[in-house]
Structure 1
Amino acid sequence: MTALPKLYIGIDIHKRSWKVHCATELFTGKTFSMSPDPEQLQRYVLKHFSDYEVNVAYEAGCCGYYAHRCFEGYGWTSLVVNPADIHRKGKERHTKTDKIDAQLISRELKDGRLDSIEVPDMEREQLRSLFRRRNDLVKDFRRVKSYIKMQLLYFGIKEPEEFDNDHWSHKYRQWLDDLVFKHPTAKAALESRMRFFRFVDQELRDVSTQLRRYCKTHYKKDYMLLRSIPGIGGIVACGILCELGDLRRFNTVKHLAGYVGLVPSVHQSGGNQKTMGMTPRAHRLIRSYFVEASWQAIRTDPVMQAYYRKHMGKNVKSIIVKVARKLLSRTLAVIKTETPYVVGVLQ
Structure 2
Amino acid sequence: MDTQLTAHLPKLYIGIDIHKRSWKVHCSTDLFSGKSFSMPPEPNQLQNFVDKHFPDHKVSTAYEAGCCGYYAHRCFESYGWKSLVVNPADIHRKGKERFTKTDRIDAQLISRELKDGRLQSITVPEKQREELRSLFRRRNDLVKDFRRVKSYIKMQLLYFGVKIPDEFDNDHWSHKFRYWLDDLEFSFPTAKATLDSRMRYFRFIDQDLRLVSNQLRAYCRKHYKKDYYLLKSIPGIGGIVACGILSELGDLRRFNSVKHLAGYVGLAPGIYQSGANTKTLGITPRAHRLIRSYFVEASWQAIRTDPVMQSYYRKHVGKDVKKIIIKVARKLLSRTLAIIKTEIPYEIGVIK
1:100 aligned partner:
105
Matching residue of 1:247: 252
Q: Secondary structure at the match of 1:162?
A: coil
What SS does the aligned partner of 1:268 have?
A: strand
266-275 vs 2-11, which deviates more? 266-275
The CA deviation at 1:159 is 0.6
Structure 2 residue ranges without an equivalent (≥5): none
The question of 1:164 aligning with 2:148 is answered: no
User: How far, CA to CA, are the matches of 1:186 and 1:265 in structure 2?
Assistant: 51
CA distance in 2, matches of 1:171, 1:342: 38
Give how far 1:117 is off: 0.3
SS in 2 for 1:27: coil
For residues 168 and 313 of structure 1, what CA distance do their matches in structure 2 show?
34
Q: Deviations over 1:217-240 (max 9, x none)?
A: 000000000000000000000000
TM-score of the superposed pair, with normalisation by structure 2: 0.98
Task: Please tell me the residue identity of whatever aligns with 1:298.
Answer: I
CA RMSD, aligned part only? 0.7
Partner of 2:132: 127
Q: After the TM superposition, which of the residue ranges 260-269 and 97-106 deviates more from structure 2?
A: 260-269
Answering whether residue 189 of structure 2 is matched by residue 184 of structure 1, we say yes
Count of paired positions: 347
Equivalent in the alignment of 1:282:
287
Give distance in 1, aligned partners of 2:266 and 2:165.
42
Distance 2:338 2:290 in 1: 21
| Pick aligned residue for 1:149 from 154, 159, 162 | 154
> Which deviates the most, 66-75 or 20-29?
20-29
Amino acid across the alignment from 1:245: G
Whether 1:238 aligns to 2:243 is: yes
1:242-321 correspondence runs (5 A): 242-321=247-326
The residue number in structure 2 matching 1:110 is: 115
Q: Which runs of 4+ in 1 moved over 3 A?
A: none
Deviation per residue, 1:299-345 (Å, 9 max, x gap): 00010011001111100000000000000000000000000000001
What SS class does the counterpart of residue 160 from structure 1 fall into?
A: coil
Alpha-carbon distance in structure 2 between the residues aligned to 1:118 and 1:25: 26
CA distance in 2, matches of 1:82, 1:311: 36
Shift of 1:144: 0.4
TM-score between both structures, scaled by the size of structure 1: 0.99
Is 1:13–2:18 an aligned residue pair?
A: yes
- Give the SS at the match of 1:265: strand
Q: Deviations along 1:182-228, whole A, 9 cap, x unmatched?
A: 01111111100000000000000000000000000000000000000
1:53 aligns with 2:58: yes
Q: Percent identity?
A: 80
1:80 has 2:85 as partner:
yes
Q: CA deviation at 1:270?
A: 2.0
- CA deviations on 1:150-177 (whole Å, 9 max, x unpaired) are 1111111111111111111111111111
SS where residue 33 of structure 1 aligns?
A: strand
SS at match of 1:46: helix
The separation in 2 between residues aligned to 1:250 and 1:141, in whole angstroms, is 34
The one-letter code of the counterpart of 1:334 is: I
The code of the aligned residue for 1:145 comes to: K
CA distance in 2, matches of 1:240, 1:81: 22
Which amino acid is the alignment partner of residue 243 of structure 1? Answer: E
In 1, distance between residues paired with 2:34 and 2:160? 66
Cα distance in 2 for partners of 1:278, 1:152 equals: 39
Partner of 2:201: 196
SS of 2:214's equivalent in the other structure is helix
Q: 1:173 aligns with which of 178, 188, 191?
A: 178
**Equivalent position SS for 1:163:** coil
Unaligned residue ranges in structure 1 (runs of 5+): none
Q: Which SS does the other structure have where 2:350 is aligned? A: coil
- Give the distance between the partners of 1:277 and 1:184, measured in 2 at CA: 53
Q: Distance in 2 between matches of 1:37 and 1:342?
A: 52
CA distance in 1, matches of 2:88, 2:17: 11
